Structure 1
Amino acid sequence: MTQNDLFFTLALLQVEGIGDITAKKLLQNLGSAEAVFKAKKTSLAKIDGIGKNTIQNLKQTSSFKLAEEELNFLERENITSLYFLNNDYPERLKHCFDAPILLFQSGNMNLDNSKIISIVGTRNITTYGNEFTKKFIEELAPLNPIIVSGFAYGVDIVAHQAAMDHNLQTIGVLAHGLNQIYPKNHKKYMAKMEQNGGFLTEFWSNSNPDRENFVKRNRIVAGISEATIVIESAEKGGSLITANIANDYNREVFAVPGRTTDKYSQGCHNLIKTQKAQLITSAADLVYLLNWEVHKKEEKGIQKQLFVSLSEEEQKIYNFLLKGKEILDIISIECNIPIFKLSGTLLNMELKGVVKPLPGKIFEAI
């Protein structure tokens, strides 16, 4: 968008009584933020839900000064603005009715990747949660997903770090402006994150990390992703809010179980019991439930190597069957394995869940 468009959009968002939903309604009817400000009162009054107070506030100019100050900040700090109608705005977030009109971005991110997941959980992460998060992301790394979280203590920062360790894009969604970082202890991770990923926020440079901002932030975490994974959570917590928002957006939600006595697994257990989340115990579960493994046969092969231990001979058979189902005799010839040995190997692969026998001595890869 042009600087002029950005200026008027910023000004619109500073008008008292206008939030993202009302702003979208005005933009839908009038085409641009500049047109909203220039519209006659009679034209504004015809828009459903736009009352006298809103119209009166639009005719004041105090929001222009605030918009100019913020525009100067964005230019000075080289911060990118993402407009909800433009192609660079996160695609899934566009379809959320209350998504922000504008997002502010710092770093080097590419949101074209279709595999975007959010990982959330308690700030009081346990050893179990720590180990699971790291292992989970390590196993997903060959599929190159983008890892989104809230850059907070606990599960969030462990997920960001694990993503960086495996050269994955990782995005921190912030509850304040890009002129600061919270918590301050995490400033040491910023430079590395911005090399391959970075930060998103809807908040201006004059916004502090106030309590209510974190709830607003959570809808971006939920909305930007294909799925939200709750690693650990007590009975109450911000990660449960994110999970509920993801459900409202009709996104997939997954939760990791713990022992029945674990304080920081109770929230996950409740999500599973109330059918607000599906249970997962590994990255393989996520890959299966999101149907990632069937998108590309070569990715499917990667997953079986990762999550199932196959011998060299088994892998050779599996790779051959990825081309399509085949009868026993042809498998034997193409893989150069005698039938008497092949039969036992295929049975072992069936038990591992990587091949399926069909009538007529035909086998296929799963």
Structure 2
Amino acid sequence: MSENDLLYTLALQHVPNIGGVTAKKMIAHCGSAEAVIKEKKQKLLKITGIGQYILSELYNKNHLKEAEKEIEFIRRNSLEVSYFQEENYPEKLKHCIDGPILLFQSGAIDLKQQHIMSIVGTRKITNNGIAFCEKLVENLAPYNPVIVSGFAYGTDITAHRAAMKHNLQTVACLAHGLNQIYPKVHKKYMVDMEKNGGFFSDFWSTDTFDKNNFLKRNRIIAGLSEATIVIESAEKGGSLVTADIANSYNRDVFAVPGRPTDSQSIGCNNLIKQQKAHMITTPFDIPYLLNWQLEDDIKPAIQKQLFVELDADEKLVYNYLKTENKKQLDVIAITCALPIYKVASMLLTMELKGVIRPLPGKLFEAI
């Protein structure tokens, strides 16, 4: 985008009370951020959902002055800026209604034609969690995925380090501007991170550091990726927020189960129990469930075991999927006139029997 377009888009992003959703709505109506800022207030008030409160700070000249300063910071640090309507903006994030209008990046990030996987979890990761995370990345390496996380303690930095160890591209989404690094102890990984990917943020260099920023940046972690894996989580935590956001974007979510007595497994167990995540117990579950194929793979024929016994309801679901091809759980339940909870349990049983398989997008098909 031109420097003039960047100036006005930054100015619009700087306006209090105008987030990504509202800004996109106004740009769609007016044609550009510059047109929004130069439009008469009465005309903007005719846009659905735009009121006096939202527009109260729009015409403050200070936004343009601050935007000029931020452009200088961007220039000085050779940052790349992605605009939500342009080609260099991450493709999957374009489909997220609350994605930022501008995304700032450093490093050598290339997300085109790549599998993109977010790995998140507790900052108090256990030794078992570390081992699973490292093994997961090692076994996914042949598929050359981009590993996305938040650069925090625990699960995040474990995932980033494992990705770099196996020469995979890895991207950290930050909860602050690109003028700083948190936690500071992770500064030692910055050079290698930027060689193997880099950093994304939608925060300015002047934004104050706030704990609520971490929840806000989670939408970018979830939005960049085709799927999110939760390694470990307590009953509450930021990784569960990321999982919820990923579900709202209709992305696949996976969780590693643990013993009911393990405090750092409660969150994952609940995600699985509430059917908000697929359970994974080995690293190989991911490429299978997402139907990833290696370039040199000859897709093996999946053989059903002979003489599989299905009860009447299972036969009903199997015959429906055989006829209709891929369908989501709720559609199967409605069409077959069965309770959703029963169909969910049945699908798992039928998967173990080798007669159906799950697919990306929460779909199921008969084998």
Q: How would you bin the TM-score normalised by the shorter chain?
A: 0.7 to 0.9
| Cα separation, partners in 2 of 1:263 and 1:44, compared to 1, 3 Å | same
Which residue is 1:240 aligned to? 240
Change (3 A) 1:63 1:125: same
Name the CA distance, whole Å, in 1 between partners of 2:145 and 2:5: 33
Tell me the equivalent position of 1:130: 130
1:179 corresponds in structure 2 to: 179
**1:363 alignment partner in structure 2:** none
Q: List per-residue Cα deviations over 1:302-359 (Å, max 9, x = no partner).
A: 9xxxxxxxxxxxxxxxxxxxxxxxxxxxxxxxxxxxxxxxxxxxxxxxxxx9xxxxxx
Q: Per-residue deviation at 1:238? A: 0.7
Q: What is the 5 A alignment of 1:245-264?
A: 245-264=245-264
TM-score by length of 1: 0.80
SS at 1:298 equivalent: coil
Q: What are the equivalent positions in structure 2 for 1:201-350 lying under 5 Å apart?
A: 201-293=201-293, 298-299=296-297
1:26 counterpart residue number: 26
Contact 1:182 1:209 in 2 (8 A): no
Gaps of 5+ in 1: 303-352, 354-365
The C-alpha deviation readout for 1:169-217, integer Å capped at 9, x for no partner, is 0000000000000000000000000002000000000124311100001
Aligned mates of 2:267, 2:187 — CA distance in 1: 29
User: d(CA) in 2 for partners of 1:155 and 1:10?
Assistant: 33
* d(CA) in 2 for partners of 1:161, 1:170: 9
Given that 1:118 and 1:221 are in contact with CA atoms closer than 8 Å, whether structure 2 keeps it comes out as yes
Question: Is 2:163 the partner of 1:163?
Answer: yes
Other-structure match for 1:47: 47
Alignment correspondent of 1:198: 198
Name the structure with the higher helix share.
Answer: 1
| Partner deviation per Cα, 1:120-167 (whole Å, 9 max, x = no partner) | 001111110111111110001011000000000001000000000000
**1:301 Cα offset (Å):** 7.0
CA RMSD of aligned residues (A): 1.8
SS state at 1:198 partner = strand
1:96 aligns to what?
96
Deviation at 1:60, TM superposition (A): 2.3
Quote the offset at 1:49 in angstroms. 1.9
Report how far residue 56 of structure 1 moved: 4.5
User: In 1, distance between residues paired with 2:45 and 2:167?
Assistant: 52
Q: What letter is aligned with 1:119? A: I
Task: Give the TM-score of the pair, scaled to structure 2.
Answer: 0.79
Residue 260 of structure 1: how far off its partner (Å): 2.4
From the CA coordinates, give the structure whose radius of gyration is larger. Answer: 1
The aligned residue for residue 11 of structure 1 is 11
